[in-house]
Amino acid sequence: MRLNRRAFLKITGAAALLAAGNPLLAAANKPKNKKGPNILYLLTDQWRAQVLSCAGDTNLKTPHIDSLAKDGIHLTHAYSNSPVCTPHRAILMTGKYASQTNVWHNNDLMAPDEHCIAEHFGKAGYETGYIGKWHLDGPSKPGHVRYRQGWKYWAGFNRGHAFNRGVYFTDSEEKKKVPEGIFEPVHQTDLAIDFIGTKSKTDAPWFLMVSYGGPHMPYTAPKEYMDKVDPKSFSLRPNVKNMNERHRKALHGYYAHYMCLDDCIGKLLKTLNSLGIADDTLICFTSDHGDMHRSQGESYKSKPWKESIGVPFIARWAKGIPAGRQTASLFSTIDIYPTLCGLSKLDKPKDLDGSDLSHVFTKTTGKENEIVYLTIGAPDKETAWRGIRTRQYTYAWHANKETGYVLYDNLVDPYQTNNLIDKPEHKQLQQKLHQTLLQQIKAIEKPMNA
């Protein structure tokens, strides 16, 4: 079975034109102008779900993020629908799968006419701001971002991870340099503190997204953090294979970067407290995808294993989210936009693909997700795979090769060490999951030759 890209593009292109020309649809999508919480959205890059002290990792301490979990909600089953930077960010910004935006791969350009989350919240009276890595404006590196998609305040760049020689752009193509000797995330935190201090003097709510570039490779951090971590004493995950000295060195920098970011987040929390606006601010901490670090013998991302697709998602809002809760409710990138609308009491746009799961956060009744849909690669790419994550199972399939990829019972096998794919004794289970996956593909990426 093959995904028919030409027919897919023809249909989605026609649908986009129809939506763009429908004034009734545009009016229905207009949010209500109500004062909601401030939103501080902390987006990291390649931070996998398991690496937090509140998630049980003993190799480091993340006290400030742990405090967010203690005072808010920790979603232990949060996933990236497409565990690569650009596709994740397009889903986050638009609330739509790649089958609508055509953003399938790193360095794809998100169309400038996509109606994005900052535009929606801006129309509702929010002051919006974006700091850090964007990675939605094509391949330019670091790159002045041409299309801000509704983010009014801007101190960002398109792509890259030059943590020790960072640059960014504001309102022009003039490149600004992070002061010499200042680690890029530290400077980005200072910019965020300035934004929060300025906007807290006004009556309007604000929505600030701080997009840190780490703990992504090149896996580095200031010496004070490198010295806090002893790579020789690391406790490795049971599914790690073929870890050599180079890999261990990378893991050293990875953990050190975590602790630096935790301190940066601590500064932001202190700022909110000092300004007296902590209780009025919804804080979300998450990542675009995870990092394998030799689990399953693999590195980096774009894989269907939990170290790649699993991301942290912690939210705190004293006036709206009951404190001290952990939940295994399924949550993924596609749900973030509509859920932020729900928490902020805004009508969500009608064309979003995800679910408003604000009731999960506020501990009220409502329907929960049964499936997370996973994608890597455009429909015509031979290496593309599609998958699903349910509460119990992970199943993925190479659609254009018509071959199985992985099948795990995550309750029995939490470290995914026993791949059940194509094993005769699990044939019936595999067939059932495959049919469920095909239903997802047809619903989300139709048409598909069945």
* Of 427 and 15, the one with more pLDDT: 427
Give the residues across from 311 on adjacent strands: 78
Domains of the chain with bracketed CATH: 1-30+379-450 (3.30.1120.10), 35-369 (3.40.720.10)
Are residues 170 and 121 in contact, defined by beta-carbon separation less than 8 angstroms?
A: no
Measured between alpha carbons, how far is 127 from 118 in angstroms, rounded to an integer? 9
**DSSP structural state of residue 106:** T
Contacts 24+ apart (CB under 8 A), 50-53: 50/237, 50/290, 50/306, 50/307, 50/310, 51/254, 51/255, 51/258, 52/312
Helix (H) or strand (E) holding 129: strand 127-133
**pLDDT at residue 15, as a whole number:** 37
Tokens 């995550």 label which residue? 410
In our burial notation (b when 16+ CB lie closer than 10 A, e otherwise), range 41-53 reads bbbbbbbbbbbbb
Query: Residue 180: CA atoms inside 13 Å, Cβ hemisphere, count?
Result: 0
Are residues 215 and 254 in contact, defined by beta-carbon separation less than 8 angstroms?
A: yes
* Of 445 and 71, the one with more pLDDT: 71
Mean pLDDT of 427-443: 96
Measured between alpha carbons, how far is 91 from 88 in angstroms, rounded to an integer? 5
Could you tell me the pLDDT band of residue 6, with boundaries at 50, 70 and 90?
Answer: very low
Q: At a CB cut-off of 8 Å and minimum separation 6, what does 120 contact?
A: 29, 31, 150, 337, 341, 346, 348, 349
Give the pLDDT confidence of 341-395 residue by residue, as tens digits.
999 999 999 999 999 999 999 999 899 999 999 999 999 898 999 999 999 999 9
Q: Are strands 372-376 and 153-157 parallel, antiparallel or unpaired?
A: unpaired
Measured between alpha carbons, how far is 447 from 4 in angstroms, rounded to an integer? 7
What angle do the packed helices 245-274 and 63-71 form, to 10 degrees? 60
> Which residues are tagged catalytic?
85, 135
Q: How far is residue 368 from each of residues 234, 326, 440, measured CA to CA in Å?
A: 37, 15, 17
Q: What is the pTM of this model?
A: 0.91
